[in-house]
Amino acid sequence: MVRLDLEIQVKSVIGIDLGTTNCALAYTDGESVEQFAIPQLVHPGEVREESLLPSFVFLDPAGPIVGVLAQKKGLENAGRLVASAKSWLSHAGVDREAAILPPNAPDGIAKISPVEASQRFLFHLREAWNQTHPAEPFDDHQVLVTVPASFDEVARELTLKAAEQAGYRDVILLEEPQAAFYAWIERNANWRELVNVGDLVLVIDIGGGTTDFTLIAVKEHAGEIALERIAVGDHILLGGDNVDAALAHHVAQTLPRKLDAIQFHGLWQQCRSAKEQLLAEGSDAAEHPITVLGRGTGLVGGTIKSKLKREDLERILLDGFLPRVAVDAAPEGRPASLSEFGLPYASDAAITRHLAHFLHRHAAQPTHVLFNGGVLRAKLVRERILEVLNEWLKTPIRSLASDDLMHAVARGAAYYGLARQGKGVRVRGGVPRSYYIGIETAMPAVPGMRPPLKALTVVPFGMEEGGGYQIKDRQFALRLGERAQFRLFQSTERKQDAPGQMMEEIFPEMEELTPVEVSLTGTPGETVPVTLESLVTETGMLELWFVASDGRRWKLQFNVRSRRGPAA
């Protein structure tokens, strides 16, 4: 096996948090990290700099609008509002390049795809930067865009595609929990005094669309403290959007008449705004007004007024999403076989049960916790999670101070850019799961029985970007010129499998991805002996190469139209 490494190009850095609810941009100014105030429409004809760009697209007849004004207009006309595009970008059950958003748009409104929505946010950030910093063009910077740790490779590739369509060059992806941890390092120059060798940091990231769990171990390497990401959780489509939906259902039950789909979507957005106001730092309001506009000719007369009470908000949050559960609890429920078209939200809304399952599966006893994500801005949410963790753990857990949850991911991405250039501390992590390709056993044909399938490790857990392996000590027979199928698997639990290691069976903890069906170029029916090479590119994407002795090479790459896995 031969390890491959790529060189890192030195550039100024821009870090972008492409969030479900808000986007943010930070950049390096010499050795430090600065926040970028984003110019955007806040009222018709009025541009103002804001610290965040709300992740909303309003499909106005005069042209799409993004940001603050889009969010405001969406409260009045939810049928034209594209929200949660990032969650749709990770939805394996739809064509994410198809025009499907908003899903409940009235007839006659031209929809857009999740990729296009993401592209519009990224394009706005690029153009806003160039208008504000004409002497320091966006393209002269190394750009890092963050994604959930649990994003599959298709969602990652689609994020890169959206960035490319927005005019970005050579984008690098970084997982959001790692970015949050980098932000903590950037804000705490004395971090080595706050954690010790042997400590285990649990990063809990609850954003608008997803909940991510990550474990970072504090180790010793060459006599110095080193940090290593040792585990990530599964993709959990559970976050602020779910809370908003629960609040909307609660308020809807108090209204004098039933809402149609468009009105309910508007109520959902109203509850999002009300929640943010009630949970804002320093707020002591007991309730927040809710207004649902009428429909059709009775638009004004049909307006319904209600309110969201703080006591109901806190009850729904704590009892519904953060209940006290046992240390060995596991998520409950399962998706329905047939459901309405929409996002595949987690069947169990109890974040604490998902957290218990994650820690139990990895036999983890974290010593510290770092919070990130908009939901965790609320003090009562952080306090409930700490209470539950301390009921589970043998030793009281310590919370690492994070003073700016809304901008931490962007700041951490910019700091990571410095760290890649040797100007900061790097968290060793790489690919958050192991990958395998199925190898059919060579055996005589037996009626009614397919040859058993073995699993070859092609990418080990933790392979760093810019690295790869040549698996030269094994040869395989590759058939060319006809339709072929490749079966691929992944695992977040098997962390010790080495590249080139062959498993005699497919183990239960290996999750199968969508098979790849492709015709490899060559003479039909020709079979050639090949070795395999795997590569994690600088953008964080995986490539698998078949290499013949005569120099011919075939690559499997990720197909953005595949449901869950890669294609050629």
Domain assignment of residue 317, yes or no:
no
pLDDT at position 337 is: 44
pLDDT at 4 over 60: no
Task: Give the per-residue pLDDT at 479.
Answer: 87
Percentage of the chain exceeding pLDDT 90: 52
Cα-to-chain-centroid distance, residue 554: 30
Distance separating alpha carbons of residues 178 and 146, to the nearest angstrom: 9
Most confident of 44-58, 89-103, 207-221: 44-58
Tokens of 482: 């006809």
Report the DSSP pairing between strands 38-43 and 46-50.
antiparallel
Range in 46-50, 283-287, 520-524 with the lowest mean pLDDT: 520-524
CA dihedral 189, 190, 196, 199 (to 10 degrees): -50
The pLDDT value given to residue 51: 96
Q: What is the pLDDT of residue 557?
A: 58
Helices 68-76 and 261-279 meet at what angle, rounded to 10?
130
- What is the 3 state secondary structure string of 507-552? CCCCEECCCEEEECCCCCCCEEEEEEEEEECCCCCEEEEEEECCCC
Pick the most confident of 129-138, 231-240, 496-505, 524-533: 129-138
Residue 170: what pLDDT? 82
Q: Residue 553 in contact with residue 547, Cβ under 8 Å?
A: yes
Residue 447 pLDDT > 80, yes or no? Answer: no
> Looking at residue 16, which CATH number applies to its domain?
3.30.420.40
Q: How far apart are CA 39 and CA 350, in angstroms?
A: 37
- Beta pairing partners, 50: 38
State the CB neighbour count (10 A cutoff) for residue 548: 15
Residue written as token pair 């199928």: 485
Indicate the burial class of 271 (C-beta count within 10 angstroms; 0-12, 13-18, 19 or more).
buried
Angle at 225 between CA 223 and CA 229, to 5 degrees: 130
pLDDT at 567 over 70: no
Structural domain ending residue among the three candidates 154, 173, 192 = 173
319: DSSP letter: I
**pLDDT at residue 281, as a whole number:** 84
Average pLDDT of the segment spanning 88-104: 88
Domain count, the chain: 2
The answer to whether residues 491 and 463 touch, using CB atoms and an 8 Å cutoff, is no
Predicted local confidence at residue 561, as pLDDT: 32
Highest mean pLDDT among 137-141, 146-150, 266-270: 137-141
Least confident window among 53-67, 365-379, 490-504: 490-504
Assess if residue 350 is contained within a domain. no
Give the tokens for residue 70. 């889009």
List the beta strands (DSSP E) in 222-274: 224-232
Angle in degrees, 0-180, between the axes of helices 176-187 and 408-420, rounded to the nearest 10: 80
Sign of CA dihedral 144, 491, 560, 534: positive
> Is 411 inside a domain boundary?
no
C-alpha pair distances (Å), 94 with each of 88, 91, 100, 548: 8, 6, 9, 36
Question: Are the C-beta atoms of residues 320 and 332 closer than 8 Å to each other?
Answer: no
Residue numbers of the domain that contains 457: 434-556
The position carrying tokens 């005699």 is 504
Identify the three-state secondary structure at position 347.
coil
What residue type is 314 in one-letter code? E
Token duo for residue 92: 């394996």
Q: What is the largest CA-CA distance in the chain?
A: 77
| Angle at 526 (CA atoms; ends 524, 527), nearest 5 degrees | 140
Query: What's the pLDDT at 433?
Result: 81
Q: 20 Cβ partners below 8 Å, 6+ apart? A: 55, 84, 85, 86, 87, 207, 208, 209, 210, 239, 240, 241
Q: Which amino acid is at 128?
A: A
Q: Quick one: which of 428, 364, 376 has its CA closest to 401? A: 376
Q: Looking at residue 156, what is its pLDDT?
A: 87
Evaluate whether residue 104 is within a structural domain. yes
Q: Letter for the amino acid at 568?
A: A
pLDDT greater than 50 at residue 267: yes
Please report, for the chain, how many H helices and E strands are present, in that order. Answer: 12, 31
501 domain-assigned: yes
Model pTM score: 0.78
- pLDDT digits 0-9 by tens, 151-193: 877 888 899 999 999 999 989 998 898 899 999 999 998 999 9
Between these two residues, 45 and 261, which has the higher pLDDT value? 45
Q: Across the chain, what does the average pLDDT equal?
A: 87
Sequence-distant (6+) residues with CB within 8 A of 274 are 247, 288, 289, 290, 308
Average pLDDT of the residues in 248-274: 88
Most confident of 225-229, 316-320, 441-445, 460-464: 316-320
Q: In terms of Cα–Cα distance, which of 336, 288, 308, 300 is closest to 247?
A: 308
What's the confidence (pLDDT) of residue 449? 60
Last residue of a domain, one of 123, 153, 173: 173
Q: What is the mean pLDDT of residues 479-485?
A: 83
Whether 14 shows a pLDDT value over 80: the answer reads: yes
As a whole number, mean pLDDT of residues 226-240 equals 87
Question: Which two three-digit tokens encode residue 483?
Answer: 């339709």
| 490 pLDDT more than 60 | yes
More confident call, 297 vs 258: 258
What is the rounded distance in angstroms from the CA atom of residue 477 to the CA atom of residue 488? 17
Question: Tokens for 506?
Answer: 């497919």
* Residue whose C-alpha is closest to residue 242's, from 373, 100, 118: 373
Q: At 204, give phi and psi (nearest 5°).
A: -110, 115
> Which range among 143-152, 356-365, 394-403, 443-452 shows the weakest confidence by mean pLDDT?
443-452
- Residue 84 falls in which region: left (phi positive, over 0), alpha (psi -120 to 50) or beta: left
State whether the Cα torsion 349-55-294-271 is positive or negative. positive
User: What pLDDT is stored for residue 388 in this prediction?
Assistant: 98
Domain boundary, last residue among 125, 151, 173: 173
pLDDT at 292 over 90: no
Residue 369: how many other CB atoms lie within 10 Å? 20
CB atoms within 10 A of CB 318: 16
**C-alpha distances out from residue 354 to 231, 339, 377, Å:** 14, 23, 20
- For the cut 60, the answer to whether the pLDDT of residue 341 exceeds it is no
Note the pLDDT tens digit of each residue in 371-406: 998 899 899 999 999 999 999 999 999 999 887 889
